[in-house]
Structure 1
Amino acid sequence: MSRLGVKPFAKVSPPFALLVCGFLLSRLWFWIQGLTFNDSCLYWFYQYLDVDLLENDLFASLWRLHAQPPLLNLLAGIGLKMTLPLGWWFWRIVYWGMGLAQTLLLFDTMKRLGVHAWLAVALVGAYMISPGVLLFENWLFYPYPAATLLILSTWLLVNSSENLPTRGLFVFFLVCSCLPLLRSLFHLVWLLGVIAILWFLRPKAWKRILLTAALPLLLVTGWYAKNLILFDTFSGSSWMGMNFARATVFRLPDQQREEWIKEGVLSKISSVGPFSPVERYMSLIAMPDATGFTCLDETRRGGSSPNYNHLSYIEVSKEYERDAWTVVRRKPLWWLGKIAQNLLIFFRPVQEFGLRSGNQSSIEGWESVYDRWVNGQIRPSDINKAVDGRLPAVSMWLALCYLWVLIYPMSLALGFCWIGTGRGRERLAKNALVIAFIIFNIVYLMLIGNIFEYGENNRFRFMSDPLVLILSSIALNNGFSRVKNRIGKNESKG
């Protein structure tokens, strides 16, 4: 690790060993309770190519993938190429490995930021056994790898922030480049934002920053350029319009939407719900010519679920996007109200969303206990009323994850203060770059995830929860230190 400009973990300590043992024992316990790895999403989730293509024509199909960035389908394809049950065990071990990595990286990050070891153990331990972590760790989907990459990139930056070594910076940017290639929510703009933060806070190192970011930036830009050349869309995913329309057009009252379609304000595409089968759009757009490639031409995957990588979805999505922006221009205040509603969904327990992993029954009792006593969800039965705004303010917050509703803004506010910390706070000033990176990611996920998406906004929060936990650990550590110092001063005076 040191050859890469990254400091390895410190020697094994009792807190470190306790976390490793706790992780292994907790996974064994929940396995006994029936929690198992779920790969059924391969056959019906929108994000995956046809299983037969992933198994037998992986790289050619990935090259012609416009619906999603490539890394999730690459991971799925590698497992499918292995003889069963080796593929299942491959995914199982990879996700367990990511879980252990998250645990140890979070602990070491907190330690390097000055948090007391046992406080870090308590916070990381609570995160490690949270229902959301347990469910996403047992699901072949991208939230868990994305959260792991965010934690890893933060840890790498903590290691490199003091003098920004060339090798350490390169590894950091390389890990960052994996996020836009895994999850389209992390746009190329996000990667440019990361580079800008480092440049702004360490202007003297601008040449080194640009040099080490060049290849990782080229990888992401290259994938976007490929999509521009082949599919006329400079992005990691061609679905932006469909997602945006779901968050805007299809939250209009049905009568108003139908009137606007008749008046020509909205296109006829808005008479059909986003992510409908190709057959529903055939009379509404000019269908593309056949390309000769199964992943672009077949309307169904394996003859059953829709193929959302069909070439027609590119034009469909563009039509939806135009309609979505029309709604935003005509009803800006209404749109802001819908974003506020999205934020309420954002603070639901992360494991509560439409696409269920099939493992909920295995941890149902633990989920109820954790949400009530750790997340602070006092009235879970009122969650849908809260999101729809049908509850008084106090009752509404009690139906959400009250703890996270509090610590998100508090952590962000403290983080902004720490970035500008002056004398007497040397450690915080030294780590301003890391704190700025953490804040940028939290704010980015809150804004982008809630402006352009609707329905599973709490799933986006899962990726930023560990970063909020890091900021919270610093705040708690500082608070405990102040109390301890005051007690010491009072005792000395006495």
Structure 2
Amino acid sequence: MFPLRLRDERYGLAIVLVFIVSRVIFTLKGGSFLATPLFFAKQYLDPLLLENDLLKSLLYFHSQPPLFNFFLGAILKVSPIPAISYEILFKTAGILIPLLFYGILTSLGINSLVSLMATIIFMLNPTLILYENLLYYTHVVALFVLLSIFFLLYWSIKKRLIYLFLFWTSLLCLGMIRSLFHPVFFSDNSCYSVPVLTTCR
């Protein structure tokens, strides 16, 4: 058990190092984070409203779930340089996504080395790098999808309620970010998956 854990830690470190090197190369080649969707994306409230009248604006903005706009507005309120703050948070999500991907694969019983190779290929996908550097909710949605899968798998293995709570919290965040993730989808999916996982373990 200890050698397996040590190997996973080393592979996790390798994932982090590959992430850092690849993103440094991306930056040196002229890539940069784009916060410009904040000013024209139809899913977002006007930046003036986000910064100066956030809660009331969210109350009357019925066409979109509120969580991502709340995130945008909170950063505008507290950060002196919002674009850099957005970039730091998106880069943090960027490193969490491949680590979660690796954790999910190994939790499913896939060989650690195979999981590492698959994670590196996934992490170097140009589309992933694109959305990691674009102020749009797609990257955040991907993070919460992986979080929900990760916590559900860990709950099925360890049977600790904290993982089930984090699973439901991740689903709640998904539903509060993008309307595609309707509560009916979550309830139907959970009614099927939770009993199956409980029976199988």
TM-score (norm 1): 0.38
CA distance in 1: counterparts of 2:125 and 2:47, whole angstroms: 31
CA 1:199/1:27 → structure 2, altered by over 3 Å: closer, same or farther?
closer
Q: Is the 8 A contact 2:79 2:85 kept in 1?
A: no
Within 1, Cα distance between the matches of 2:153 and 2:198? 18
- Hey, what does 2:38 align to over in structure 1? 42
Give the Cα separation in 2 of the matches to 1:70 and 1:158.
Answer: 28
1:199 Cα deviation (Å)?
4.7
Tell whether the 8 Å contact from 1:72 to 1:141 is kept in structure 2 after alignment: no
- Cα 1:163–1:123 change in 2 (3 A) is closer
Hey, what's the Cα distance between the residues in 2 that align with 1:145 and 1:181? 12
Structure with the bigger percentage of helix:
2
- 2:22 matches 1:26: yes
- Residue 409 of structure 1 corresponds to which residue in structure 2? none
**CA drift at 1:202:** 5.6
CA distance in 2, matches of 1:84, 1:156: 34
**Is the contact between residue 111 and residue 117 of structure 1 (CA under 8 Å) also seen in structure 2?**
yes
Deviation at 1:84, TM superposition (A): 4.0
Measured after TM superposition, the shift of residue 203 of structure 1 is 7.3
Which residue, 66, 69, 81 being the options, matches 2:65? 69
Amino acid at match of 2:145: L
Aligned length: 196
Matched, 1:181 2:176: yes
Report how far residue 56 of structure 1 moved.
0.6
Identity of aligned residues (%): 30
Distance, in Å, in 2 between the alignment partners of 1:32 and 1:203 is 48
State the shift of 1:166 in Å.
2.1
One-letter identity of the residue aligned with 1:67: S
> Using the alignment, how far apart are the partners of 1:127 and 1:82 within structure 2?
34
CA contact (8 A) 1:62 1:74 kept: yes
Larger RCO: Structure 1 or Structure 2 (Cα < 8 Å, ≥ 6 residues apart)? 2
Q: CA deviation at 1:126?
A: 0.7
- Would you say the 8 A contact 2:97–2:143 is kept in 1? yes
For 2:166 and 2:22, the matched residues in 1 are separated by 31
Residues 36 and 138, structure 1, Cα contact 8 Å, conserved in 2: yes
Q: Tell me the CA shift for residue 34 of structure 1.
A: 1.4
Quick one: distance in 2 between partners of 1:30 and 1:202? Answer: 40
Q: Secondary structure at the match of 2:41?
A: coil
Report the counterpart of residue 104 of structure 1 in structure 2: 99
Contact 2:50 2:73 in 1 (8 A): yes
Cα separation, partners in 2 of 1:43 and 1:109, compared to 1, 3 Å: same
How big is each residue's C-alpha offset from its partner over 1:63-120, in whole Å with a ceiling of 9 and x where there is no partner?
Answer: 22201001111121122124542x1121111111111101111111111221111111
Give me the whole-angstrom Cα distance separating, in 2, the residues matched to 1:44 and 1:126: 32
Distance in 1 (alpha carbons) for counterparts of 2:170 and 2:79: 30
Shift of 1:170: 1.2
> Which residue of structure 1 aligns with residue 191 of structure 2?
196
- In structure 2, do the counterparts of structure 1 residues 26 and 198 end up closer, same or farther at CA, with 3 Å as the change threshold? same
Q: Which moved more, 1:187-196 or 1:27-36?
A: 187-196
Query: Partner letter of residue 120 of structure 1?
Result: S
Deviations 1:185-208 (A, max 9, x none): 00111121232123542678xxxx
- For residues 199 and 133 of structure 1, what CA distance do their matches in structure 2 show? 30
| Separation of aligned partners in 1, 2:36 and 2:166 | 33
Alignment partner, residue 390 of structure 1: none
| AA matched with 2:96 | A
Match of 2:160 in 1: 165
Do residues 150 (structure 1) and 145 (structure 2) align? yes
Q: Does 1:135 align with 2:127?
A: no
Distance, in Å, in 2 between the alignment partners of 1:45 and 1:19 is: 33
The secondary structure found in structure 1 opposite 2:110 is coil
**Bigger-Rg structure (1/2):** 1
Determine which of 77, 80, 83 is the counterpart of 1:88: 83
* CA RMSD of superposed structures (Å): 1.8
